[in-house]
Amino acid sequence: MLDLQQIELQVNQALQELISAARLQPGQIVVVGCSTSEVGGHSIGQNSSLDIADAVLNGLLPLIKQQGLYLAVQGCEHINRALVVERACAVEYQLEEVLVFPHQKAGGALAARSMERFADPVVVERIAAHAGMDIGDTFIGMHLRQVAVPVRPVQKQIGHAHLTMARTRPRYIGGPRSHYRD
């Protein structure tokens, strides 16, 4: 039996690590892709769980709000990996809203629960997030800014799902005379 409180704790600890490694500032975006099937020990897309989605959101939302960040939740390929965000994020970053309503079988459990739990959710097709967390190999890279830099998490799994994280940094430009600050 999967311990949902443990999932919540693991997600929260991973997010704390990502916020620190990425040096995220208020108003920046964290994208999260999550296969609740994988977290539960099943193949991606085979056993979507609203209970696991709630545990993941319980681990994310308080810290996201406390830090003044925006959360973008990636849906599955059945909605072309569109993302659920707060309307305020869409307005601030001039993101174009699309007409789709994620549900458990098209979008996935996490996107479906986000539609219910966000204050004013909208769905957008693309985003350029400052950092990201991928729980269960859902491929969030298309929603990260250039240049993505891996963050090597202390904890390598959420439940049974593989965890990868990334931060982004500005591109290095110029030639041999150029100087860069960290």
Q: Note the pTM of the prediction, 2 decimals.
A: 0.94
Length of the chain in residues, anyone?
A: 182
Choose among 53, 111, 57, 40: nearest CA to 80.
Answer: 111
Residue 174 pLDDT level (bands cut at 50, 70, 90): confident
Higher pLDDT: 178 or 80? It is: 80
Between 105 and 88, residue with greater pLDDT: 88
Sign of the CA dihedral with 39 first, then 102, 96, and 119 last: negative
pLDDT value, residue 182: 66
Comparison of pLDDT for 130 and 105, the residue scoring more: 130
The CATH fold of domain 4-168: Rossmann fold (3.40.50)
Q: Which of 66, 73, 125 is nearest to 94 (CA)?
A: 125
| Residue whose token pair is 């959101």 | 57
- Other Cβ atoms within 10 Å of 40 Cβ, number: 20
Residue 46 scores a pLDDT above 90:
no
108 with 115: CB under 8 angstroms? no
Contacts for 165 with CB less than 8 Å, ≥ 6 apart:
14, 17, 18, 21, 131, 132, 133, 134, 150, 151, 153
* Residue-range domain boundaries for the chain: 4-168
As a whole-number percent, the residues of the chain with pLDDT over 90 amount to: 87
